[in-house]
Amino acid sequence: MYQLGQTLLTLDSVSLSFGSNLILRDISFEIKDILREETTGQVVTLIGESGVGKTQLMKMIAGLVQPTSGKILLGPGQKPVKAGLVGLVDQKYPLFQHRTLISNLKLVSSDTPKIEFYLNEFNLFEHKSKYPAQLSGGQRQRAAIVQQLLCSEHFILFDEPFSGLDLKAIDKLCDVINKVAKLDEFNTVIISSHILEPSLALSDKAWILGYDKDSEGNKIPGAVIKYETNLAKQGLAWRKDIRFDPDFINFVKQIERTFKSL
């Protein structure tokens, strides 16, 4: 049973290697439910340059890739994560092309009222009989989000959701992600991105991945967490037009100066 303020996700000294190639090294962080006056979930972000290992970290959180060492614990009982407990929306929005939208969704859930609830929430109900090729890019994206909400409990991951989008599309996606978080008090949205400003604008909390360097300035293999920030405590958590707030703008500039690869 979920309770306010409890730990929702724990990464404990998680490392990942492929053969002799160390990808991630000793990644540790904890996500707790946020206590607020209004009932809402939260958005947290993993930020880092392309190739730093964000996608592999997301796959581990989703239970699709096993860490080489360390533990990933999920939910009230803090049990090891398993595939299917966490929804992952990747950049391709996979849907079976030969099935209608409603047919795609029924592959992951037989709960018709729940399917119809999400279709209405994400303005897809009138498109339920269409095939993926008949949907716009934004509609396919929302369909992929609904698909993952139906087959996971409270956790949904977005891998590089802003890549290739123009500013208008980014604004629309920010609204959708915020809506996902607000559907339930215990919903936790985790974003991975190398695009700094919209990611931070959405986030209650963020972690930046990067590399340590040796005494000669050479990159040490295995990305680590270089920086952690709690935007909620700074009063910079998502709200309409936060991206135009002078304090938020200055905060983003500070991060850009510190992490020049972003």
Question: What Cα–Cα distance (Å) separates residue 249 from each residue in 1, 127, 144, 253, 262?
Answer: 39, 38, 31, 6, 15
Share of residues in the chain with pLDDT > 90 (%): 68
Q: What is the pTM of this model?
A: 0.90
Confidence label for 87 from pLDDT (cuts 50, 70 and 90): very high
Within this chain, do residues 79 and 188 fall inside the same structural domain, yes or no?
A: yes
Cα–Cα distances in Å, from 231 out to 177, 205, 242, 259?
17, 5, 11, 17
Residue with tokens 């998502």: 238
Give SS3 for 120.
helix
List the CATH number of the domain containing 28: 3.40.50.300
pLDDT for position 36: 56
pLDDT of residue 3: 59
Closest Cα to residue 40, out of 202, 216, 241?
202
Q: What pLDDT does 211 receive?
A: 95
Q: Are residues 71 and 104 in the same domain?
A: no
pLDDT at 217 over 70: yes
User: Model confidence over 168-214: pLDDT tens digits?
Assistant: 888 889 989 988 988 888 889 999 999 999 999 999 999 999 999 99
pLDDT at 135 over 60: yes
Both 109 and 201 in one domain: the answer is no
Mean pLDDT of 24-42: 81
The answer, yes or no, to whether residue 89 has pLDDT greater than 60, is yes
DSSP state of 219: B
- Decide if pLDDT at 38 tops 60: no
pLDDT digits (tens, 9 = 90+) for 154-165: 899 999 999 888
Residue 222 and residue 102 share a domain: no
pLDDT tens-digit readout, 109-131: 999 999 999 999 999 999 999 99
Which of the 8 DSSP states describes residue 92?
A: T
Last residue of a domain, one of 151, 180, 200: 151
Range of the domain at 141: 92-151
Two structure tokens written together for 159:
């891998």
Residue 224 clears pLDDT 80, i.e. is over it:
yes
Does the structure show a pLDDT above 70 at 2? no
